[in-house]
Every structure is written in structure tokens, then in C-alpha cells.
Amino acid sequence: MNASPTTAAPSDAVITARGLRKAYKNTLALDNASFSIPAGRIIGLIGPNGAGKTTALKAVLGLTSVEGELSVLGRDPRAHRDDLMNDICFIADVAVLPRWLKVREAIDFVAGVHPRFDRARCERFLANTKLQPKQRVRELSKGMIVQLHLALVMAIDAKVLVLDEPTLGLDILYRKEFYQRLLEDYFDEQKTIIVTTHQVEEIEHILTDVMFIRDGRIVLNAEMDEVGERYTELLVGADQLETARALKPIDERSQAFGKTVLLFDGVPRSQLTSLGETRNAGLADLFVAVMKGTYA
């Protein structure tokens, strides 16, 4: 599959990467990866384990050396990491806060390491919860841990927020709460959020753009509106299956009662509606099709 570049001029881009390459012994973690991310977007960076997601994030954060051109907020993170960290916030798994840590200590720590942390804003958020400064993480429910993490994140006035599997280990109810509050209380047109996750369905509704990465290559890079227009699923019966297959679907999967779902790229819906039921392709199904290697 050819990657479709995000339509942002380099001057408008918060992050620009061209030809990124990173090799570990005999493995290419990044293989000529190129992408451009404008401000005010929520990007889903999605790929299986070992696809290169973490390496790409580390490159953006200046945590690993890579070949190629890389600019983050107009600076090269390989040379200006300390300066960039004033404008970037990185959050990983919310479920791994040290169990002995007190709420107050968590606030003190973030206040000490991030110059754009607004303690007053954090405390205002916590005032609307049941969290107490002296409580330790081990005393908190999962929902309260989510609230603590949200308070810390939303009090940082960062231009770029990087979330690496942020809700791993949380129940679905708390995962949804995390993303909803992030969208409602944090995101605006001046901020850019990059999210990596395996739970594609749960972030699909908040994304403005998506990037699929496989074997170190960006195999899809598109706005979500483009994904909706470009990809179509067709549910057909056995009588129309061969006719539909002649239109060269990129993937298919069997359903109950002799039905088959075919996934098409760029085929006008007007050509498909007479064959069966059409619908927008779900991001998870598109991801599976690409990762299966049926469409490369």
C-alpha cells in the first residue's frame, strides 16, 4: 500500500519526518518512514508489536538516534531534546504509577520536571474528585487513578502530547472516560496529540488522522475523513460474490448464513450498492486487512 501523506505544508507542520531509518542488528525498526503532522490534530499511530511504533515515538522525543530528516516544533530532537521537552509531554500506561506514591507526591514530581505544569489547574481538577493529597496509589480505585493521571496531563500546557498505550490495564469503562475527558477538557486547535494503542475501536471516534505502521514502514497515512470516503465494506450473498470479487477487493471475510464482507479501496459506492449492503469500513477491520499483508 502506498502511504497517503497528510496534507500539511512543511511550514504548518508540528512534526516532519523524511526517510527515517533505524536498524537494530539485522532488524529495521524504521524503514524509510516519512510523515507530516500539523497542529490541532489527534493522530492514531497504530501497528502490531515490533512494527516500529515505539521507535518512531522515541525518535520524536529525541530518545534514540535515527537516520533521516526530523523536525519537531521547528527543531531537531536529536540536538535540542532538552529544549523541546518544555513543549512536549509524554505519558505511558496509566496503570503503572508506583503503588506507594501519594497524590501530593505525584503532583510535586510533575511540577518539578515539567516547566509548563500548572499546579493550580491540577488542583482545581482534583477538587471535583474524591482524591485526597495524602492518599497513596494503592488506595485508589482504577477510576481514581485515571482521574489522577488526567489531572496531571491536563495541567501541562504542552504543544505536543504523546500517549503510548495510555490505558493499558484499565477496564473499558475507564478507558473510555480517559479519552472522553482528554477530548473535552484538554484538546484544542493549538495542541497535537499522538496516541498509540491496540484498542483501535476505542479511539477511532476521537482521531482526526491515522497512521498504520508495519515492519518500520508507514503503510497508511490519512485523515479520517479520507478513510471514510476511500474505503467501503460490502456485505454480499453467495449469488453476488463472484461479481463483487471482480471489482478487486483488498480483503474479505466470511460471515454467518453464507454472507461475505468485502473491503474495497477507492471503488465508488455506486458500483457496489446493487450487489449488496454497503457501509463505512471500521478502522479495526481496515487495520487487520493491512496487517494481514493482503494489501501491500
Cβ atoms within 10 Å, residue 9 = 9
Indicate if 164 and 244 belong to the same structural domain. no
Confirm if 274 and 234 have CB atoms less than 8 A apart. no
pLDDT digits (tens, 9 = 90+) for 226-281: 999 999 999 999 999 999 999 999 999 999 888 999 999 999 999 999 999 999 99
Maximum average pLDDT range among 48-52, 132-136, 202-206, 254-258: 132-136
Domain holding 252: CATH number? 3.30.70
- In this prediction, residue 5 carries a pLDDT of 43
- pLDDT at residue 11 is higher than 80: no
- Choice between 240 and 189, residue whose per-residue pLDDT is larger: 240
The fraction of the chain above a pLDDT of 90, given in percent, is: 59
- In this prediction, residue 85 carries a pLDDT of 86
Indicate if 128 and 192 belong to the same structural domain. yes
Q: Which domain holds residue 281?
A: 227-291
> What pTM did the predictor assign?
0.84
pLDDT digits (tens, 9 = 90+) for 14-26: 999 999 999 988 8
Degrees to nearest 5, angle at CA 151 with 149 and 154? 105
Domain holding 175: CATH number? 3.40.50.300
Q: Which of 192, 222, 252 is where one domain is finished?
A: 222
Burial-class residue 56 by CB neighbours within 10 Å (0-12, 13-18, 19+).
buried
CA distances from 63 to 60, 91, 158, 244 (A): 8, 14, 18, 48
State residue 129 phi and psi, 5-degree precision.
-120, 180
Dihedral of alpha carbons 37, 41, 47, 51, sign: positive
pLDDT digits (tens, 9 = 90+) for 151-188: 888 898 889 999 888 777 778 887 888 888 888 878 88
Which of the four pLDDT bands, split at 50, 70 and 90, describes residue 133?
very high
Indicate if 172 and 28 belong to the same structural domain. yes
What value does the mean pLDDT take over residues 15-44? 94
- In this prediction, residue 293 carries a pLDDT of 65
- Helix residue spans in 36-102 (DSSP H): 53-60, 81-84
- In this prediction, residue 182 carries a pLDDT of 83
Q: How many domains does the chain have?
A: 2
Residue 269 lies in a domain: yes
